[in-house]
Amino acid sequence: MNLMNNQRYFKDKVAIVTGASSGIGLATATLLAKYQAKVVLAARSVDKLEELQKGLSQYTEVISIRTDVSIEADCRNLIDKTVERFGRIDILINNAGISMRAMFKDLDLSVIHRLMDVNFWGTVYCTKYALPYLLDTKGSVVGVISTAGYKGLPGRTGYSASKFAINGFLDTLRSEHLYDGLHVMIYAPGFTASNIRKTALMADGSQQGDTPREEGKMMTSERVAEIMLNHIRRRSRRATLTFTSKLLLVLTRLFPITTDHMEYWYMAREPDSPFKRRSEIMKERKRSSH
């Protein structure tokens, strides 16, 4: 039923997907193309975009536009080129993003600047220039955040800050256009099998490389994309995925202090975690007590 409804709903709609060259963005763009939406692919990697455009053109009209969302002029160009080609915008999916993994005390502040530029300002720039067209079509603007946009994650200060900022920005935008027919959705996947952890920035700004988590146990990007499009069709205000994420938010409201401890120990279990493990802390306490 969802498949048939989605095919009817998205057919011929003009949809922009940022961060379309990999992960959730790639899966979302692919699914939109199969639903015969007119798809605009935005990312920094020209080679990947051209290859993706070629593959998806068998389903629908697709254009690719090289876009660094941290650059305002690139975002304006993305919107201008979309309207020049299709004359309208129905859906903007702000998916482009980067992550990080380091304790704040060790962090070069340029890392947080980079995260805010890509994650937060990328969403602001694209939304700003697309907004007049989305208001004309009573379209949808989506911000892909994460559980970290509701509850700060240890070792992810910049990431959490940027996702909290997107959450607040889009929540306010929704209120401002409450009577204009604009659909604003804040979408929070949990841990997803994607490229974002491999490109996560370390304390010095270098990329992490190998992911510290077992990708095979996570929700796939394809499933995350499928659920996202279901919620866009339903014009949902918010969607939070995975049982763990939903449980974390409930526990945070009910038992905030206990949840802080649980969260710390959960994240400390990662290989090469920047936090001390419980066993290390207990050993230090025993040494200091003698």
Would the pLDDT of 64 be above 70?
Answer: yes
At residue 250, the pLDDT reads: 87
CA 131, CA 128: separation in Å to the nearest integer? 5
Q: Is residue 69 part of a domain?
A: yes
- What does the angle CA 177 – CA 129 – CA 178 come to, to the nearest 5 degrees? 5
- In this prediction, residues 180-198 reach a mean pLDDT of 80
Instruction: Indicate whether 281 belongs to any domain.
Output: no
Q: Does residue 86 lie within any of the structural domains?
A: yes
- pLDDT greater at residue 271 or residue 10: 10
Q: What is the dihedral of CA 237, 27, 41, 54, to 10 degrees?
A: -150
- C-alpha distances in Å from residue 86, one per residue of 63, 80, 132, 186: 10, 10, 15, 26
Higher-confidence residue of 35 and 277: namely 35
pLDDT > 90? residue 274 = no
Split into its structural domains, the chain has a count of: 1
Q: Distance (Å, rounded) from C-alpha 248 to C-alpha 259? A: 7
Q: Which CATH number do you get for residue 229?
A: 3.40.50.720
Whether 100 contacts 156, CB under 8 Å: yes
For residue 40, tell me if it sits in a domain.
yes
Decide if pLDDT at 209 tops 70. no
| 159 annotated active-site | yes
Q: What pLDDT is attached to residue 241?
A: 87
pLDDT band at 96 (very low <50, low <70, confident <90, very high): very high
The answer to whether residue 252 is domain-embedded is no
93, 96, 99, 172: which is closest to 130 by C-alpha?
Answer: 93
Average of pLDDT values for 82-101? 96
pLDDT tens per residue, range 144-170:
998 889 988 888 999 999 999 999 999
Judge whether 134 and 182 are in contact, CB under 8 Å: yes
Weakest mean pLDDT among 6-15, 35-44, 123-132, 269-278: 269-278
Residue 223 lies in a domain: yes
pTM of the model: 0.88
Of 35, 125, 150, 159, which is the active-site residue? Answer: 159
Q: What is the pLDDT of residue 169?
A: 98
Tokens 């290989």 map to which residue? 271
Can you give the length of the chain in residues? 290
Assess if residue 289 is contained within a domain.
Answer: no
Domain around 229? 2-242
Residue 266 belongs to some domain of the structure: no
